[in-house]
Amino acid sequence: MVMTRFVILLFFSFIIQTMKSQEKASTLSGDLIIFHAGSLSVPLKEVAAEFNKIYPNIKIYMESAGSVASARKITDLNKPCDIIASSDYGVIDNLLIPKYADWNIKFVSNELSIVYQDKSHYSNQINAKNWFDILMKKDVAFARADPNADPCGYRTIMTLQLAEDFYKRPGLAKMITDKDQNFIRPKEVDLLALLETESIDYIFLYRSVAIQHQLKYVTLPDEINLKNPAYADKYSKVSTEITGKEPGKKEVVKGEPMIYGITILRNAPDKPAAIAFLRFLLSKDKGMKIMEKNGQPSVIPMETKNFEKLPEELKPFAIPMK
């Protein structure tokens, strides 16, 4: 009898908590502004659709651009923004903390690949052993991202530097970057448009984007694709320069495994909505399930600087620096 009453009490407690949670979700409202890397466009759209099933009164506005360009919309143009998701966590650390943001959560990874379609020249021949010879053919055109606007751009250069040593081909990086410079674009969407219109044959692009758009791709060796943490020391030996924080200044970016970062801005117009969205996105059985399906594996939890400044609701998704 006592046991039956206990079970009944537990059941009603669960119902009340569920109702409170649903009430909170239904009353939370506002406009949520998200700046994000182009490679996050497809999964974040799916995440937003699922999030809105729980929080129907939050209107989400998403703006895609290269991660460096996205950060500069905040630092240079003072555009209002709640959340920024960068394809390189270092963009947040270097350009936004401490003036515009207090913390940075590392959440997914990726790798560089060479993306193409059936109609691309030599599509039936290209592989991980000959891709650089194919790209250098006169009847082949390829595109890459702008290093000053998008991490994919400077990661492409560093992959080429690593390839010189891996394939024992001195001068390979310069040879490839000197070719087809008229096909450098600021973000992934522009690169994909060139491929779809058959203006080019190949793109240096993230593997996840190829998966999301059902395109073919060459899987590059881990020694050069910036994916594998086991090669972190090797990656760190290459670097390139990009436009710095101040006009006319340059800064050096060093190679490291690809890790995406996300934060809420200090002056976010709607912090409650932003926190609710990040809790949903970073949860293993919710947003991260969608990210994994789209070719972007979770790295949660990872060490993060300024862990103590994280909102309490988000601390389970990171760990303090040792």
What does the alpha-carbon distance between residue 29 and residue 23 come to, in Å, rounded to a whole number? 12
Domains of the chain: 27-109+259-320 (3.40.190.10), 112-254 (3.40.190.10)
Give the pLDDT confidence of 208-249 residue by residue, as tens digits: 999 999 999 999 999 999 999 999 999 999 999 988 777 778
Going 8 to 11 to 17 to 18, the CA torsion angle's sign is: negative
CB atoms near residue 110 (< 10 Å): 28
Give the pLDDT of residue 275: 98
Which segment of 36-45, 127-136, 236-245 scores lowest on mean pLDDT? 236-245
| Segment (H or E) for 259 | strand 259-264
Give the 3-state secondary structure of residue 23: helix
8 A C-beta contact, residue 33 and residue 277: no
For the segment 136-162, the average pLDDT, to the nearest whole number, is 96
What does the alpha-carbon distance between residue 280 and residue 185 come to, in Å, rounded to a whole number? 32
For the segment 255-270, the average pLDDT, to the nearest whole number, is 97
For the segment 148-166, the average pLDDT, to the nearest whole number, is 95
Give the pLDDT of residue 27: 74
Give the pLDDT confidence of 177-219 residue by residue, as tens digits: 999 999 999 987 789 999 999 999 999 999 999 999 999 999 9
Give the pLDDT of residue 2: 45
pLDDT bucket at 103, cuts 50 / 70 / 90:
very high
What does the alpha-carbon distance between residue 46 and residue 102 come to, in Å, rounded to a whole number? 27
Going 191 to 73 to 103 to 248, the CA torsion angle's sign is: positive
Average pLDDT, the chain: 91
CA nearest neighbour of 307 among 274, 276, 263, 270 = 263
pTM for the model stands at 0.85
Which segment of 13-27, 79-93, 139-153 scores lowest on mean pLDDT? 13-27
Give the pLDDT of residue 26: 54
Give the pLDDT of residue 190: 87
Give the pLDDT confidence of 48-65 residue by residue, as tens digits: 999 999 999 999 999 999
Angle, helices 41-54 vs 271-282, to 10°: value is 110
pLDDT bucket at 25, cuts 50 / 70 / 90:
low
